[in-house]
Structure formats: C-alpha cells, structure tokens
Structure 1
Amino acid sequence: MIIYESNKSWLRDVKHLYRSYTMQKIVRSTLWVGAGMALISYLVIDVFKLTHWRIETGTFSLLGIVLSILLVFRTNSAYDRWWEGRRQWGNLVNNCRTLAMLLHAALPASDLPSRRYLAAHIANFCLALKEHLRGGVKINELIHVSPEEQALYATKNHLPNYIATQIQVQVQEKVRSGDLTGEDLINIKMHTQTLLDVAGACERIKKTPIPFSYNVYLKLYISAYTLILPFGLLPDFGYAGIGLIMFIFFAFIGVELMAEEIEDPFGLDCNDLPIGDIAHTIKQNVYELLEVGHPEETRPKELYQKVF
C-alpha cells in the first residue's frame, strides 16, 4: 500500500501515483490506444477521406452518461469491499488486543509457558490469515514454531482455523486445571470466536468477486465507446482529436482498473490493504500485553512442546 500524508503536497502525491502498477498499466493502455487512434485517423482522414461520416456529439453524451453510471456502481462496489476488508482487520486488531488483555489479567503471573504459548498462537493466527488470503500460508514466517509443528502445520488445509482451535483448546485446559474460571472462559470465548468470524468475512470478500458478466460487459462497453469516438471527434478536430480520445479513454479505463485493483484488498498491489503491517502490529501488541518479552526472542527449548 502506498503510504502518504493527505493534503500535504499536491505535486508529490501525483508523483507517487505512478508507483502504482495499475497506474502504469493505465498509461500503457492509453498510449496503445493513442497509437491505434493515430492509425485510424490516418485511414479516415487521408486514405479513405471519410470525414463526412460523423456521429453527432449528443450521441456520445448519452452513451457517456450510461457508462458513467456503470462506472460509479463499479467503483462503489469495489471500494465497499476494500473498506469492509479494512473494518474486518481493524476488528481483528481490537479483539486480539482484548483477548491478550483478558488472558494477562486471568492467568497467573508465574505461568510464563502458557503466556508465551498463547501470545505466539494469537500472533501466528494473524500471520497465517494474512497469507491464507493471498497465495497460501508461509509457515517459515510464523514465530516460535518447532520442526514438529511445522510438519503438522503443512498438513492443514486451513491453518488459521487450526491455530484458532489450539488457542481455544489451551484456554479450556487452563479452565480444567483451575488457572482460569468459568467466567474467564465466557469472556475469552467471545474473542476467540471473533477470530474465525473475521477470517470468514475476509474469505467472503476474497472468494466473491464482482460477477464475471458485469466485469466483461463494462470492458466491452469502454472499448466500443472508444472505437466509435473517432467518428465524432475527427471531423471537427482532425488529428488533434487523438489527444481528446486518449484523455477520455484514460478517464474511463482508469476508473475501471483502479476499481479492479481494490476489488481484492488483501493482495500485494500498491493500493491494497497493509495487512502484513497490521499482523505484525498485532504480534507486537500481544507480546507486550502478556508481558512475555519481545516476539522475536528465541523460544526456549522446553516450550517447543504443547503447554497445558
């Protein structure tokens, strides 16, 4: 995600915009359209001399209104998905912090093994969910995982589910041992359940893109609109109409491709959500709340085994 300070520098923000792969794609597409329009203009004006073939500009106004309505709906739908993803990860931050706070208040201060175990698993849930929403969990990114656990994790199709289950199992064992009370369990359960609620909501966003027919139709509409523009602009503007066509295409295809980029907010595009940074922030916060040191410290050998 491109990090910037809004309302600070107009020109600097515009300069950073080109860092976006989508913006580079828009510019390349616009240049290709310009080259195509130059060829069409040459054929229309100089070869076939069809400048008397024209479409009234009012027609383009009507078609442009329809296209604008479609693009507004497309942009709003994509942004809703992006914002819903941000809300879910904000909810994950709050619940992980609250869960760590409740565990810190309820667990005995001397029970460092359980504190470390739970801190590592809460952090690993967020790290695993981050990659689960991308290309697949990278087990080597998880913290304080023994070789045996790595082998076990590799067999799981939905690693965030398994890690959340292990957190709940650990809490249940502490209740049975008397370190946590039934009231503690009720308070904690709500937040462990939210971990899977957030995962499910993010999966819904990830696996339900905008309907394919709608997506293709909009692209065909933009392409057809661009192809007939020469017959409305060239008779009046000549070769200067090429620049106008490029600008109109730049506006329409830019909105479409930017909406397409943020439609899946969990990827690695420049305008996607910084869920990697959020996951690492949760990791730091959880370790601080449970007072078990820094998350990057080497895990004690005796903690490689599951602690109850």
Structure 2
Amino acid sequence: MISYNTKDWFTFIFHFHKSDTVRKLFPIMIAIGIYSALVGYLEIHYFKVNKNDYIHNIPIMHGMLGFVISLLLVFRTNTAYDRWWEGRKLWGGLVNSSRNLAIKLSAVLKDENDRNFFRKYIPLYADILHKHLKDADTSKQLFEDVELEIDQHKHKPNQLKRIMYHKINDLYDAKKISGDQLITLNEELTAFTDICGACERIKNTPIPYSYSAFIKKFIFFYTMTLPFGYSVSLGYLVAPVVVFIFYVLASLELIAEEIEDPFGDDENDLPTKKISENIKKHIEELI
C-alpha cells in the first residue's frame, strides 16, 4: 500500500508512480492517438466532410451516451471501493479480536508454557490468513521453535484455529480455566473464522464477468467513434482530445480493477503483511 501525504496534492500532478494508469495505458493511448489522427485526415482531406454532412451530428449520440457511461463508471468505482474498505474493516476486526483474546488469556493463564503457546499461535493466524488470501504457500515452520502440523492441501486458517481451540479445550479439561472463561474465549475464536470467511467471500467473488466486459466494450466503442464526430470541428486536435477522454474513462476502470481485490500484490492493495506483523508485536506485549 502506498503511503503519501494527502495534503501535498501538487506532487501528485508532476510525480508518476509505477502504479499510475498512464504507464499502463501509454501503448494503447499512442495507438488511439494515431487512429484518431488518421480518421481526421481521411475525413478532412480525402472524403471532404463538412459541417453539413450527417456524420457531423454524431456528437449528439456521444452526449446522450456520456451520461450513461458516467453512471456505469461511478457505480463500478464505488462497488470496488466498498470491497476494498470492507476488507480493511475485516482486518481491523482481526486486530481487535487478536488483542482481546490475548488480553483475556493473559489474565486467566498462569502457566508460562500455556502463555508462550498463545503468544506465538495467535499471530500465526493473521500471518497464515495473509498468505492464504494471496494464494501463497505457507511454510510448516513460521517460527524457529514452533512446528505446525498443517496439511498444505487443506484450509490452513481452519487448521490453525482447530489447534488453538483444542488447546483451550485442554485447558478447560485440566481445570485451568472455568466454563465461563471457555465461553468468553470461544467468542474471540469464532470471530477469527467469521473474518476469514468474509475475506474469502471478497477474494473469491469478483465483479460479474458480463458487467465488467460490457463496461470495457462500452469504453472502447465510445472512444473509437469520437473522431468521426469531432474531426471536422477540431481538425488534428481531435487526436489529443480523444486520447485524453480515453485516458479518463479507462483509468477509472483500471483503478476499480486494482482495488476490487484488496488482498493481492498491487500497489494500492491492503498492507495485510504489515498488519499481521503489528498483531505479532502487540500480542507479544500483552501475553
């Protein structure tokens, strides 16, 4: 995730980051510029199109469709941002649940071996969930002195939660915690699974294909027809104008594509690795 000063907005104008849409769209922007200039040349010098020809009225269509495409893109970006923000709230909930579980365990556990177990296993859940959402392989040994008996072909966060729950149940059987304390601790562990399931819902449920494909086709054909209507009025200036319009429309779609999956490796995705490291730091301070 990119860290920046929101008030220093002049820097955004003149600084190009590697995640900027200009870099991604530059080749196709050049192609559209050449295409627009060619259409303008053919209309003006070859076909001798003037303002009395019907083709000059095409901008009427663009005016009507411009409102439609703006609504589609606003809905698209809002939907993508809602997914990004929901992912951030879920990981904020994981931070709080981890802290609450650690605080409660620090009060009820007296044996140092039990405290040491949860001191290392609670942060492991956030770390494994981070790798699980990125589809990365989770090593069997995340700490030097902790070996996890995890089947790499099964659901890793569920396996780790099962280990912790069995440990808490063993504490209850050994009379180290009471029944009321068992219920209280179970609430925090249940929150772990709820958060994991919600993150998987975001990860595994992309925007419907037909909707995403329609917007891309709409932007493409809308942009490709612009030179036919504006070449007579703008001349060769139609090329930079069409390129700029395409840049604005396509950039909104690219931004939505990037943030709709907040658990990936893009520059603007959530810093889940950093959050899991902070959880580890806080748990070690609490237990």
Q: TM-score range by the shorter chain?
A: over 0.9
**Conserved 8 A contact 1:26-1:257:** no
TM alignment of 1:88-107, pairs within 5 A: 88-107=90-109
TM alignment of 1:28-43, pairs within 5 A: 28-43=27-42
Q: What is the rounded CA distance, in whole Å, between the counterparts of 2:163 and 2:80 in structure 1? A: 35
Aligned with residue 236 of structure 1, among 233, 236, 244: 233
Q: Which amino acid aligns with 1:12?
A: T
**Conserved 8 A contact 2:59-2:226:** no
Match of 1:305 in 2: none
* Range 136-145 or range 177-186, more displaced: 136-145
Shift of 1:188: 0.7
Q: What is the rounded CA distance, in whole Å, between the counterparts of 1:282 and 1:122 in structure 2? A: 8
Q: Which amino acid aligns with 2:59?
A: T
Change (3 A) 1:271 1:62: same
Q: What's the TM-score once normalised by structure 1's chain length?
A: 0.86
Shift of 1:24: 2.0
Match of 1:121 in 2: 121
1:110-137 deviation digits (Å, cap 9, x = unpaired): x222212112111111111111111233
* Range 29-38 or range 159-168, more displaced: 29-38
**Conserved 8 A contact 1:128-1:137:** no
Q: What is the rounded CA distance, in whole Å, between the counterparts of 1:131 and 1:96 in structure 2? A: 17
Q: Which amino acid aligns with 1:99?
A: L
TM alignment of 1:1-308, pairs within 5 A: 1-7=1-7, 9-15=8-14, 18-20=17-19, 22-50=21-49, 52=53, 53-108=55-110, 111-139=111-139, 142-144=142-144, 146=146, 149=148, 152-290=149-287
Change (3 A) 1:50 1:268: same
**Conserved 8 A contact 1:133-1:206:** yes
Q: What is the rounded CA distance, in whole Å, between the counterparts of 1:18 and 1:35 in structure 2? A: 26
Q: Which amino acid aligns with 1:143?
A: F
**Conserved 8 A contact 1:234-1:241:** yes
3-state SS of the aligned residue for 2:56? coil
Q: What is the rounded CA distance, in whole Å, between the counterparts of 1:234 and 1:17 in structure 2? A: 31
Which 5+ residue runs of structure 2 have no aligned equivalent?
none
Change (3 A) 1:278 1:56: same
Aligned residues: 284
Which 5+ residue runs of structure 1 have no aligned equivalent?
291-308
Shift of 1:190: 0.5
Shift of 1:105: 0.7
Q: Which amino acid aligns with 1:30?
A: M
Q: What's the TM-score once normalised by structure 2's chain length?
A: 0.92
Q: What is the rounded CA distance, in whole Å, between the counterparts of 1:159 and 1:175 in structure 2? A: 25
Q: What is the rounded CA distance, in whole Å, between the counterparts of 1:162 and 1:215 in structure 2? A: 35
Q: Which amino acid aligns with 2:121?
A: H
Give me the identity figure in percent.
Answer: 38
Q: Which amino acid aligns with 2:200?
A: E
Q: Which amino acid aligns with 2:65?
A: L
**Conserved 8 A contact 1:82-1:265:** yes
**Conserved 8 A contact 2:39-2:228:** no
